[in-house]
Amino acid sequence: MTTIKPVIIAGGSGSRLWPLSRQLNPKQFLALTDEDSTMLQQTVSRLKGLNIGGPVIICNEEHRFLAAEQMGLAGEDGAQIILEPVGRNTAPAIALAALQSVAAGGEDDLLLVLAADHLIGDAAAFRDTVSRALPLAESGKLVTFGIVPGKAETGYGYIQKGAGLDTGGFVVERFVEKPDYGTAQSYLESGDYLWNSGMFLFKASRYLEELERFRPDILEACRTALNGAAKDLHFTRVDQGAFAACPEESVDYAVMEKTSSAAVVPMDAGWSDIGSWSALWEVSTKDESGNAVSGDVMQQNSAGCLVRADHRLVATVGVEDLVVVETKDAVLVAHKDRVQDVKKVVSQIETDGRHEHLNHREVYRPWGVYDSIDNGHRYQVKRITVKPGAKLSVQMHHHRAEHWIVVSGTASVTNGEKTYLVTENQSTYIPVGQVHALENPGVVDLELIEVQSGSYLGEDDIVRFEDKYGRA
């Protein structure tokens, strides 16, 4: 039986799903459609039943610990994680995975390229479609999966089917950019067009052959970047300079629209790219008034709304077709017909020098999480949770002192030359300029309140001397 190597592209910022999706915690790492698993974890989970090898995750450097932790929770501790120092779109990302497979003797590995942030409503139909595409890929075709359209959609690109193939599927006649509504309606009525899903299946060697034919500059840059890669914990860090010099290009433009070996296999599996709040509303469970709600929500005479309350009660009265999303530090209210403009809000936040586009009030670190619960002139208060066995870096600060109060658990504190335990309801003080560290030696979470005071309280006022997670 043919072994499939999943290649999961986990880049992207998901700015249209702000304020839930943030630059440092984007939608692929969020539980959007399932309370118990993130989009990335669902992508891996739906592969069970296929004959697959360990997945390869390709993500941004700044998301590495999120990816590793979520793969561990999904039972994929051995997942390979390739880190991109900068985003260069899908053609280079896939090239890194293909080059790595070939270098390990996997010229004939079948790479199943998937996005980490897509929803598949019918996992069995998805697996069946992938299985039907195997003979095409084994014969040397570069297979893309086209979604059977259920409506005239202007937000997706399209693939026109050509002649049928003996091994299943169709020749790709052409790729089409996002159409206007009238054109999309004509595509739907013809039955000759499929939505472009961005999912692929092909041999690693065949992809590299076609990339060398059409974009040798991309292949050479990726080869150089991988040759200069370093192994670090779960991660493969490609050479930053070489990869930054790589042209930015999608796999469609670089290879699929140029090759004579492209084939398309139709897929009807309840697919959505969850590209906006309205798309999430469409695939969510709704009440009799068409409302999709999550969290502590009360509604009176409201209809057709998506309301998500993460931290407090949200009430709506007499409204229709609204999106209301509440987080600890931001609230979005938008009409469902205008949610594509959410990305303009994100741009404005960034332009204004604010930080709400970057992260939530709760910030995840490889050792746990912190929540900035209060701040003012020359002070900041955080609630810190440290996982069992985890340790913050050995560090010091030039501009702030810190006072730690343990709420639960036990802390092992390094404070200058001294190391000692601090238990529940005890506290300790770290002066400005003092080298210090914090570790959880116990088997339960350590929770503490940190009060910072000083002239500058930014996260960049950290000088690290030692870090078990390899951070600079």
Mean predicted confidence (pLDDT) in 187-203 = 94
Task: Give this prediction's pTM.
Answer: 0.89
The owner of tokens 């002066």 is 431
| Chain mean pLDDT for the chain | 94
* Per-residue pLDDT reduced to its tens digit, 81-122: 999 999 999 999 999 999 999 988 878 899 999 999 999 999
Beta strands 292-300 and 142-147 are unpaired
CB atoms inside a 10 Å sphere around CB 376: 8
Look up the CATH number of domain 4-272: 3.90.550.10
Query: Which of 27 and 470 is assigned the larger pLDDT?
Result: 27
pLDDT at 471: 74
Give the tens place of pLDDT for each residue, 313-325: 999 999 999 999 9
What would the mean pLDDT of 263-274 be, rounded to a whole number?
A: 95
In the chain, where the domains are located: 4-272, 287-351, 362-466
Which long-range contacts does 283-292 make (Cβ < 8 Å, 24+ apart)? 283/33, 283/119, 283/121, 284/33
Q: How far apart are CA 60 and CA 9, in angstroms?
A: 10
Mean pLDDT of 374-386: 94
Q: Given 2.60.130.10, 2.60.40.10, 2.60.120.10, 2.70.98.90, which CATH number is that of 362-466?
A: 2.60.120.10
Given a contact cutoff of 8 angstroms between Cβ atoms, the answer to whether 399 and 457 are in contact is yes
Is 4-272's fold the same as 362-466's? no
What per-residue confidence (pLDDT) applies to 236? 93
Give residue 1's pLDDT. 57
CA-to-CA distance for 59 and 69, rounded, in angstroms? 13
- The Cα–Cα gap between 101 and 90 comes to 17
Share of the chain above pLDDT 90, in %: 84
CA dist 162 and 46 (Å) reads 29
The model's pLDDT over 360-374, given as tens digits with 9 standing for 90+, comes to 888 888 899 999 999
Q: Is the pLDDT of residue 276 over 90?
A: yes
Query: In this model, does residue 355 exceed pLDDT 70?
Result: yes
pLDDT at 362: 87
* Cα–Cα dist 41/313, whole Å: 29
Place of tokens 């039955």: 191
Measured between alpha carbons, how far is 408 from 456 in angstroms, rounded to an integer?
28
Handedness of CA 25, 27, 29, 30 (dihedral sign): positive
Residue the block writes with tokens 């450097």:
61
Least Cα distance to 356 among 21, 73, 47, 68 occurs for 21
